[in-house]
Structures are given as C-alpha cells and as structure tokens.
Structure 1
Amino acid sequence: MKLIGSSTSPYVRKVRIVMAEKKLDYRFDEESPWTQDSKVSESNPLGKVPCLVMEGGEAVFDSRVIVEYLDTLSPVGKLIPSTGRERVEVKTWESLADGVIDAGVLARLEATWPDRKESERSQAWIDRQTGKIRLGLAAMSRGLGDKPYCSGIHMSLSDIAVGCALAWLAFRFPEIDWRTDYPNLARLHDKLMQRASFAETQPR
C-alpha cells in the first residue's frame, strides 16, 4: 500500500499512527496538495490528503474512511469497536477531534492563504472558527475527565484522533494554551507521546 500525504497534516498523521499501531507495511509518499506541481489529484479527484493507494491501484480517501478500513486488516490492536454504543462513542470522539482540526484549518486558510488579498480576509470568520476550537477543547476535557483514555481503559481511535488534534494545535496555534487550560488533555497527550507511533510522526 502507498499513503500519499503531508507529514504536517494531522489527518495524515492519524492514518500513519493507525498503520504503526496495526503493524501494517506501507510506503509513504510525501506530497502537499497546496503546491502548484502537486500530483495528489491524480489519485484523489478532490485534491486532498491522506489518500491510500492499494496494491491494485484503487484509491481510498478521507482519513475516517481509511482508518476504518485499516482497522479491519489486522487483529493486532483493535482500535474501533465492531458494533453498538462503544463504536458510536469512538467515532463521535473522532468526529469531535477532526472537527476541531477542520475549524483550525479554515481559520488558518482565512488568515494566511496567499491567493486572498488582505482586504478580503474576514476576522469575524476567523473568530467563529477559533470559537469552535475552544468549545471543542472544552468538550474533549469534559469527556475525558479522570479516565486514563477517552473511551475507557485502553487506547482506541478516540485517543489517536484527539492526540493528533492537540499536537496540531500546538504546532499551528501556539497561542491556544490548551495544556494550561486543560491539564487532563495535557496528561493524555504526554502519555500518547511515549508511544513510538506518536513520537515518530510528530509534526515539525
């Protein structure tokens, strides 16, 4: 399998961590969808990463679709419950974490996209997206509480998604001091960073 994506993308990182935890072999092709010579759209018509190209050449895209597929490939380290409320809980955590990232990406593009003039940027839009980030962080902290992991006593996709969101915020939005505001999220992130899958994919 070949994974196409950028090492700074939190969505790509989520897939890379799942692959490491599942002990799956793959080739990582570093490719940014934002460069003029990007070839991402050759595999994903939407021009987005991550994109997983399988042995037969078929492409799978959207990180949520990819990680769900990857979790079925090996019994090692099951990350998503098969059925029931436990499955819904894990997928809801993933949606929350991805939603925080989505809001951050929208705020960052509004503020920095070079194809937009300064007069065209909307501070109200940036503030709206930043507000979603802050509400999302508060919801993560409440949901985690004093538990060792987001969805119980074992690491799951919930924690991988949250860990990727937290690290990306620290990377792109250092002014949002979630470590001070939410010590339980900081403890979870520090625990996850002790795993090779997290340490070796940290955005820089």
Structure 2
Amino acid sequence: MKLVTSLTSPYGRKVRIVLQEKKIPFQLQVENPWQADSVVPSFNPLGKVPVLVLEGGESVFDSRVIVEYLDHVSPVAHLIPGEPKTRMVVRGVEALADGVTDAAVAIVLERKRTPEQQSSDWLLLQEKTLFRGLEALSEALGEKPWFLGNSMTLADIACGCMLGYLDLRLAEIDWRAAHANLARLADKLATRASFVDTLPPA
C-alpha cells in the first residue's frame, strides 16, 4: 500500500505513526496539496492528504477512516478498543484532538493572508475553539498515564500529533505551562520511535 501525504500534515503524521506502531509496510509518496500542479486530487477528489492507496488502487481518505481500516488489517498493537464504551472514549478524544488541529490549521491559513484580508473575528473564533479543546483534552487525561488504560491508544497518538503541530506552527502558544499533564504525555510520546521518525521538518 502507498500513503500519499505531506511531511508537515498532522493528520498524515497520525497515519504514519499508526502504520509504524502496527508494523505495516508501506510506500511513502510526499506531496504538497497546496501546489497548483498537485497530483493529490487524482487520489482524493477533495484534494486533501493523507490518502492511503490500497494494492488494488482504491483510495482511502480522511485520517480517521484510514486509521480505522489499518487497525483492522493488522493484529499488531490494537489501538482502537472493540468494546463500545471504551471505543467511544478513544474515538472521542481523537475527534477532540483533530478538532483542535482543525482550528490551528485555520489560524495558520488565515495568517497567510494579507493583513487587510484577515478576519479578526474568524481568528478569535478559532483561537477560542483551540483553547477550549486543549482544556477539554487536559481534563480528559487528568493524572492518568494514558487517555485509556495502561497503554497507548489512538487517543494518545492523535493528541500527540496535535501538540506537535502546535509546536511547529503556533509556537507562541504555551500549552505546556497551561497543561502540565499534556506536556508529560507529549514528552513520553516523544521517546517512541514512531514519533521520532515522523517529526515534521522545521
């Protein structure tokens, strides 16, 4: 199988980490979906990464759909519980972390516009969403070592990728000082080979 993604995409990083944790071999095709001549739309009509291209040529897109598929095709390191209630916890944290990432991406894109074109109301809305999301994630983690149980799940991976994106694109946000428990989680994840190997370029 082949993964089409950008090296700086936090959603693509989530998928790459899952592939590595589950020891699934894949070919990496690095693409920039923002370029006018990008080939990404040929894999995903929405023009977004990541896209997983299966052996038969079928495209699977949206990181949440991809990781759901990957967790089923390999018995190694199950990252999404099968039991409904615990599954809901993990997928809920993933959705929350991805929502914070969405807000961060929206801020980054808005800031790329000229000052006259930027909407202060839009930026404020996204910032409020981002900070509420961080607060909710911190509350969900509490003093536990992981979001669920005694080992890493997709919830922790999604949160770690989101925090890494904040460090990359919005370094002025001092989330570590505000949420020491998220900082501890991020530091623990940073020692895993899958997180080290997928660090985005500066």
TM-score interval, smaller chain: over 0.9
Q: What is residue 173 of structure 2 aligned with on the other side? A: 176
- The reply on whether 1:5 has 2:2 as its aligned counterpart is no
- The reply on whether 1:156 has 2:153 as its aligned counterpart is yes
* Count of equivalent residues: 201
Q: What is residue 79 of structure 2 aligned with on the other side? A: 79
Residue 48 of structure 1 aligns to a residue whose secondary structure is: coil
- The reply on whether 1:108 has 2:108 as its aligned counterpart is yes
Unmatched 5+ residue regions in structure 2? none
- In structure 1, C-alpha distance between the alignment counterparts of 2:175 and 2:88, rounded to whole Å: 26
Q: 2:199 aligns with which of 190, 199, 202?
A: 202
Residue 52 of structure 1 aligns to a residue whose secondary structure is: strand
Q: Tell me how large the CA RMSD over aligned residues is.
A: 0.9
How many percent identity over aligned positions? 54
Letter in 1 for 2:86: E
Q: What is residue 122 of structure 1 aligned with on the other side? A: 119
* TM-score, normalisation: structure 2: 0.97
- In structure 2, C-alpha distance between the alignment counterparts of 1:83 and 1:43, rounded to whole Å: 33
Displacement, 1:111?
Answer: 1.3
Letter in 1 for 2:22: K
Letter in 2 for 1:164: C
Residue 168 of structure 2 aligns to a residue whose secondary structure is: helix
Residue 73 of structure 2 aligns to a residue whose secondary structure is: coil
Displacement, 1:39?
Answer: 0.3
Residue 183 of structure 2 aligns to a residue whose secondary structure is: helix
Letter in 2 for 1:65: V
Q: What is residue 91 of structure 2 aligned with on the other side? A: 91
- In structure 2, C-alpha distance between the alignment counterparts of 1:178 and 1:124, rounded to whole Å: 22
* TM-score, normalisation: structure 1: 0.96
- In structure 2, C-alpha distance between the alignment counterparts of 1:96 and 1:127, rounded to whole Å: 19
Q: What is residue 166 of structure 1 aligned with on the other side? A: 163
Q: What is residue 49 of structure 2 aligned with on the other side? A: 49
Give the ranges of 4+ consecutive aligned residues of structure 1 lying more than 4 Å apart after TM superposition. Answer: none
- In structure 1, C-alpha distance between the alignment counterparts of 2:149 and 2:120, rounded to whole Å: 39
Unmatched 5+ residue regions in structure 1? none
Residue 175 of structure 1 aligns to a residue whose secondary structure is: coil
